[in-house]
Amino acid sequence: MKKVSKLQRQIFTITTALALFIILLLGISISSILYTQGIDGAETALRNKNRSVTTLILGYFAPLRQAIEYSTSPDSGIDHSRFEEHDTRQAILNLFEVLQKTIPNVNYIFSGYEDGSLLINNYTPPADFNAVDRPWYQAALDMHPLISDGMPYQDIISKEWLVSFGKTLLNANEEIIGVLSIDAGMDTIIEALSVKDQHYPTVYNYVLNTQGMVLIHPDEGMRDTFHQGIYAHLPSADVTRGSLNYRDEGRQFLAHFDRIETLGWIVVTEVNLADIRQPIMKTIIFTLLMIVTGSLLATWLMSFVLSRHIIAPLKKLQNRVQEITEGRGDKISEYSFPNNEIGMISEAIEQLTENALIHKNVELKIKNLQLDALSNTDQLTEIANRRKMLEIIQAEINRFDRHKTPFSIFMFDVDHFKRVNDTFGHDLGDQVLIDIARVVRSSIRRTDTLGRWGGEEFILICPETELNTAHNVAEKVCSAIRHHAFPANLSITVSLGLSEFRSGHTLETILAEIDQKMYRAKQNGRNRIEI
């Protein structure tokens, strides 16, 4: 019995020492793994949060920048160099009104000119107001010929936070004559920046400009201040996004940044590293306590079980050997451990994430299709714009090069359209263009494509159509316009140039040819077709 007791003590001592050694190794390894995973998880949360906020900002301001580009381009049909003329000023204000109704987040849209004057709806500037001295005007001059960086400011009256974008206006000699600016509300952006993360509630977002000045911050006291702490650690401007770890005023921060070059903004998502370390350390301590307790209990239980299942059989070793040699030995059951469900949980989470990403990709695809439609459609007449027509013409040329499939193209211009605008105003002139687009679309074939080329010029593409057939289409178009009842009992006619694309033609030569024919039709008396 004494020998048995000594063996029990030896088994207990050995298993306990082995358990303590394993606990030490496991403690070091698990602490390192848990800490690394905790920091990695925080970095992933920061990166995802930052990416979602940046995507929201880009999508929010894209229509505003498109509106600025359109309003300052010849496609708008407005010559800003004639801003002193009443009709031009009215056309500009009408355009501003349309854009404000079309784009919900536009608060103000206005233009200032080199003489200090300001054009804006529903507002009369003070007598001593000088647009040239305003910050938005100077910002646009500094960024010429690009759109100025977003300039957040708080409205004096409503206390609402707004952001301003501007671009210079040029005359025919490419000289700056003024600035067009759009102010948009920032409530949606500020709310998005303020949304708390479910797993990391102390994570917060803010926005810097390229000089390190704070533009948007949940702490209003930080706005319009220089953030030396993070700005000193940001990499060069060619690094558009990334993570960094920096110390500021004795505190360590973990951050992710994303540069929005089109706005001149740097979106930062960060968290105090102490706020991340505290729950990580709690998890490590709790895990280690569980491991120590469980390991010791398991070791002592194993020692007790081994004592019973090893020492007792030793006493009966002789009988057991005899029984085994006689083929009467008991079978030993194998231990089966519980299955680990982490694999199934991980698979479920991955599937949920994949489904969410697929859903977001579908939404992004729909948004891209909508943006593509906006970029290819003339906003006034709702037909194809010049860009889209160039794509269609090039596609027909490519088809002609491959299969020699004929097609015809003609361009027409509204006769005496300037007289209509000067006499009846640009609103009626716009209605005439809208009516022409509607009349022509109803009189052409389904395979034909009508587009607005610019101003009062239109272009029509007739696929798989030779010259004679295209001439019939042109006659039908001219007749439909001639007999249409336009506003103010106007009698509208067009001058049209028609050509069939042939070998030797290029995109440039066919366009030049129909343009020359159209002007020859005007020189020969208008209201006619030149082939």
Model confidence over 116-152: pLDDT tens digits? 999 999 888 888 899 999 989 999 999 899 998 877 8
Q: Give residue 280's pLDDT band: very low, low, confident or very high (50, 70, 90).
A: confident
Q: Which two tokens stand for residue 473?
A: 């289409």
Number of structural domains in the chain: 3
Who wins on pLDDT, 186 or 137?
137
Who wins on pLDDT, 8 or 474?
474
Asked if pLDDT for residue 294 goes beyond 60, the answer is yes
pLDDT of residue 2: 46
Contact 47, 243 (CB under 8 A): yes
Question: What percent of the chain is predicted at pLDDT more than 70?
Answer: 87
- Per-residue pLDDT tens over the stretch 508-524: 999 999 999 999 999 99
Asked if pLDDT for residue 238 goes beyond 80, the answer is yes
3-state secondary structure of 271: strand
- Per-residue pLDDT tens over the stretch 96-116: 999 989 888 888 999 999 999
Q: Are residues 369 and 265 in the same domain?
A: no
Question: Which of 9-23, 179-193, 260-274, 470-484 is the most confident on average?
Answer: 470-484
Q: Give me the helix-helix angle, 2-71 and 187-194, nearest 10°.
A: 170
Q: Are residues 302 and 403 in the same domain?
A: no
CA–chain centroid gap for 432, Å, is 37
Q: Give residue 355's pLDDT band: very low, low, confident or very high (50, 70, 90).
A: low
3-state secondary structure of 318: helix
pLDDT of residue 181: 94
- Per-residue pLDDT tens over the stretch 323-346: 544 545 454 444 344 454 544 554
Cα(163)–Cα(102) distance, integer angstroms: 18
pLDDT of residue 333: 41
Quote the Cα angle for 363-368-373, to 5°: 130
Q: Are residues 96 and 237 in the same domain?
A: yes
The whole-number average pLDDT for the span 480-506 is 95
pLDDT of residue 297: 81
Cα(103)–Cα(69) distance, integer angstroms: 14
Who wins on pLDDT, 5 or 483?
483
User: Can you give the CATH number for the domain in which 308 is found?
Assistant: 3.30.450.20
Q: Which two tokens stand for residue 525?
A: 């008396």
Q: Are residues 385 and 493 in the same domain?
A: yes
Who wins on pLDDT, 173 or 303?
173
Distances (CA, A) of 145 to 263, 264, 300, 469: 14, 15, 79, 46
Q: Are residues 339 and 433 in the same domain?
A: no
Q: Are residues 337 and 430 in the same domain?
A: no
Q: Are residues 89 and 165 in the same domain?
A: yes
pLDDT of residue 8: 66
Domain finish residue from 297, 312, 327? 312
Size of the chain in residues: 531
Cα(271)–Cα(230) distance, integer angstroms: 12
pLDDT of residue 170: 93
- Per-residue pLDDT tens over the stretch 430-445: 999 999 999 999 999 9
Nearest to 225 by CA among 238, 215, 236: 215
Q: Give residue 321's pLDDT band: very low, low, confident or very high (50, 70, 90).
A: very low
The whole-number average pLDDT for the span 156-168 is 84
The whole-number average pLDDT for the span 15-27 is 78
pLDDT, averaged across the chain: 84
Asked if pLDDT for residue 420 goes beyond 90, the answer is yes
In degrees and rounded to multiples of 5, residue 114 shows phi and psi of -60, -20
Q: Are residues 364 and 451 in the same domain?
A: no
Q: How many CB atoms lie within 10 A of CB 117?
A: 17
Q: Give residue 463's pLDDT band: very low, low, confident or very high (50, 70, 90).
A: very high
Q: Are residues 131 and 70 in the same domain?
A: yes
| E strand spans, 73-175 | 106-113, 118-120, 151-154, 161-170
Contact 430, 445 (CB under 8 A): no
User: Can you give the CATH number for the domain in which 522 is found?
Assistant: 3.30.70.270
Range list of H helices, 72-186: 86-102, 135-143
Q: Could you list the residue range(s) of the whole structural domain that residue 388 is in?
A: 377-530
Cα(7)–Cα(81) distance, integer angstroms: 105
Question: Which of 129-133, 183-187, 312-316 is the most confident on average?
Answer: 129-133
Q: Are residues 224 and 90 in the same domain?
A: yes
- Per-residue pLDDT tens over the stretch 46-69: 888 889 888 888 888 888 889 999
- Per-residue pLDDT tens over the stretch 295-312: 778 777 776 776 665 555
Give the active site residues: 456
Who wins on pLDDT, 198 or 147?
147
CA dihedral 30, 33, 34, 36 (to 10 degrees): 160
Asked if pLDDT for residue 28 goes beyond 90, the answer is no
Q: Are residues 36 and 164 in the same domain?
A: yes
pLDDT of residue 36: 81
pLDDT of residue 429: 95
Asked if pLDDT for residue 354 goes beyond 80, the answer is no
Q: Are residues 404 and 259 in the same domain?
A: no
Query: How many angstroms separate the first and last alpha carbons of the chain?
Result: 123
